[in-house]
Amino acid sequence: MHRRSFLALSAGLPFLADALLAVPSKRMLQMNGYAVNAETPLELLTDYITPSELLFVRSHWIPHMPDLKTWRLKVDGEVKTPLDLSLADLKRMPAAEATCVLQCAGNGRGLYAPTVPGVQWRYGAVGNARWRGVRVRDVLERAGVSAEAKHMHTFGSDDPPGKVPPFHRSLEIEKAMSDAILAYDMNGAPLPAAHGGPLRLVVPGWAGDHWMKWLMRISPQREAQKGFYMETAYRYPIAPGAPGVAMKPEEMRVLTEMTVKSNITTAPARAHVGKAAKLAGFAFSGAPDVEKVELSDDDGATWHDAALDPRHSPYAWRRWSYSWTPSKAGRARIVARATDVRGAVQPRESVWNQSGYVYNGWHGVDVEVTA
C-alpha cells in the first residue's frame, strides 16, 4: 500500500528532478528510493554549515507525517507530571541552539572489508548543521523527572512494515540532560520532514541513531529500552576483534560517541612539481573539537599540519585547508588524519565491526603530478 502511493507520487517527479539535476551542485546520491536514504557527494560538503537540501537523509521506514495542528510531544514515564506539548508550547519555552555534526552511524559502511550488509554509505552520510529547539533538560525538569530515571526512551512516528521491530531507542539520561536538544528548526528554517520534522532529537557528539526523527514521545525510565535496535543493532565492539569475525551482542556495547575522522573534500586531480596546490576538508569527533588535522604524501611516514578554520562550536566540524607543494613527478597519494582534543588519533584502518559503524580509516586522494 505504501508502495502504491510512492509509485503514484513518483510519476510526476521526473520533470522536476531533471530541472534540479541540471545544476551539478544540487544533487544527491540515492542509496534507497524508498524508504528514503541518500548521501551527499563528498565534493559538495565544502561549507561550514551544510545546506539543508544537501544534508544526507537516513530513514529506516516510511514515516507517517503528523498534522501539525494535532501533533503533540508526549512526556511520560518516571515524571511527576506527564506532559502533552504542542509545537507552540515548545516554542514558548527558552530556545537553545547548537551547531554540530550529524553523522549516520553507518557512514563509511561501504568502505569496510570484509563487506557487511546494510546501506553501503561511503563518505557523505554526514553534515554540520545549526539546530534550534528546546533543551531536553528544560522539558524533563518541567515534567518533574525522577532521580531514579537513568535512560530516556525515544519514540518516532515511523512505522515498520510486517513483523519488523519498531525503531524505538533510549539513551543515558545523563547525556540527554547535559546537552541534547529537541530541535524544531534547522539552519534557520522549520525542520524539514525529510530530516525528522516537526521535531527530532539532537545529541551532540553521538552517532545519528540516537537523533530520533519525527519525535512523538520521550519517556524517562529506570532501565534502557529493549528490542532489536538496542540489543542487536547499533552495538559496537567493547574491544576490537579480528576483521570478518562476528561478535556476540554481549561482546559489544551500545554505540554512542562518534570516532575521530577527517575527509578530504577538495583536491586537484593534477598538480605540478614545485607549485602549490590547495587541499581542503572537514574533521570532527565524538569529542567536542579536533586538535589538529595532518596530511601525508608518503603513506604516513611524515605528517604536516593543516590550517584549521576558526569557525567552531562544541561538536561542530572544523573546516581545514592545506597548501601542498609536490616535490616529485608521478602519482601521489595524499592522506589526512585528525586528532581530537582528548588525544584520539584517526587510525589507518577503522575497527572492523559486523554492522559497519563509525568508519574512520584514513581518507586519501590520488593526484597526478607532472614535472
Partner 1 sequence: MKRALVIAALFIAFVAAAPKKKTTLPPLGTKFHALPDGKGKQLVEASCLPCHSPDILVQQRLTEKQWTANVEKMMRWGAAVRDDDKGAIIAYLAGHFGPENKFTPIATRPVGH
Site map 2..21 versus partner 1, x via CB under 8 A: xx-xx--xx-xxxxxxxxxx
**Nearest distance, CB of residue 38 and partner 1, angstroms:** 5
Binder among 81, 82, 144, 161 for partner 1 (CB under 8 A)? 161
- Give the nearer residue to partner 1 in terms of CB position, either 114 or 343: 114
Question: Interface with partner 1 by CB under 8 A: which range of 190-198, 297-305, 307-315, 324-332?
Answer: 190-198
Nearby residues of 314 by Cβ (< 8 Å), 6 or more positions away: 98, 100, 179, 204, 205, 288, 289
Instruction: Give the Cα-Cα-Cα angle 262, 339, 112 (nearest 5 degrees).
Output: 45
246 contacts 294 by C-beta, under 8 angstroms: no
Instruction: Give me the residue label for grid cell 539552519.
Output: 187
Question: Interface with partner 1 by CB under 8 A: which range of 111-119, 201-209, 270-278, 331-339?
Answer: 111-119
- Give the nearer residue to partner 1 in terms of CB position, either 157 or 219: 157
Any contact of residue 262 with partner 1 (CB under 8 A)? no
185 contacts 163 by C-beta, under 8 angstroms: no
Query: How deeply is 226 buried, as exposed, middle or buried, from its count of CB atoms within 10 A (0-12, 13-18, 19+)?
Result: exposed
Question: Interface with partner 1 by CB under 8 A: which range of 160-168, 169-177, 286-294, 299-307?
Answer: 160-168
**Nearest by Cα to 262 from 345, 353, 355, 351:** 345
**Nearest distance, CB of residue 56 and partner 1, angstroms:** 8
**Nearest distance, CB of residue 233 and partner 1, angstroms:** 11
Helix (H, G, I), strand (E, B) or coil at 142: helix
Question: Interface with partner 1 by CB under 8 A: which range of 58-66, 134-142, 252-260, 335-343?
Answer: 58-66
Query: How deeply is 271 buried, as exposed, middle or buried, from its count of CB atoms within 10 A (0-12, 13-18, 19+)?
Result: buried
Question: Interface with partner 1 by CB under 8 A: which range of 161-169, 170-178, 254-262, 265-273?
Answer: 161-169
- Give the nearer residue to partner 1 in terms of CB position, either 6 or 303: 6
Any contact of residue 33 with partner 1 (CB under 8 A)? yes
Instruction: Give me the residue label for grid cell 604536516.
Output: 304
Site map 35..54 versus partner 1, x via CB under 8 A: xxxxx------------xxx
- Bridge pairing between strands 215-221 and 73-75: parallel
**Nearest by Cα to 324 from 299, 304, 300, 309:** 304
Binder among 46, 86, 120, 146 for partner 1 (CB under 8 A)? 120
- Give the nearer residue to partner 1 in terms of CB position, either 39 or 78: 39
Binder among 83, 119, 247, 280 for partner 1 (CB under 8 A)? 119
- Give the nearer residue to partner 1 in terms of CB position, either 41 or 240: 41
Instruction: Give the Cα-Cα-Cα angle 286, 288, 294 (nearest 5 degrees).
Output: 80
- Give the nearer residue to partner 1 in terms of CB position, either 26 or 92: 26
- Give the nearer residue to partner 1 in terms of CB position, either 65 or 238: 65
- Bridge pairing between strands 363-370 and 270-272: parallel
Instruction: Determine the Cα–Cα distance for residues 62 and 77; give it in Å rounded to an integer.
Output: 27
Instruction: Determine the Cα–Cα distance for residues 121 and 209; give it in Å rounded to an integer.
Output: 15
Instruction: Determine the Cα–Cα distance for residues 68 and 88; give it in Å rounded to an integer.
Output: 10
Using CB under 8 A as the criterion, which residues of the chain lie in contact with partner 1 when the complex forms?
2-3, 5-6, 9-10, 12-21, 26-39, 52-55, 57, 59, 62-65, 67, 110, 114-117, 119-120, 161-165, 192-195
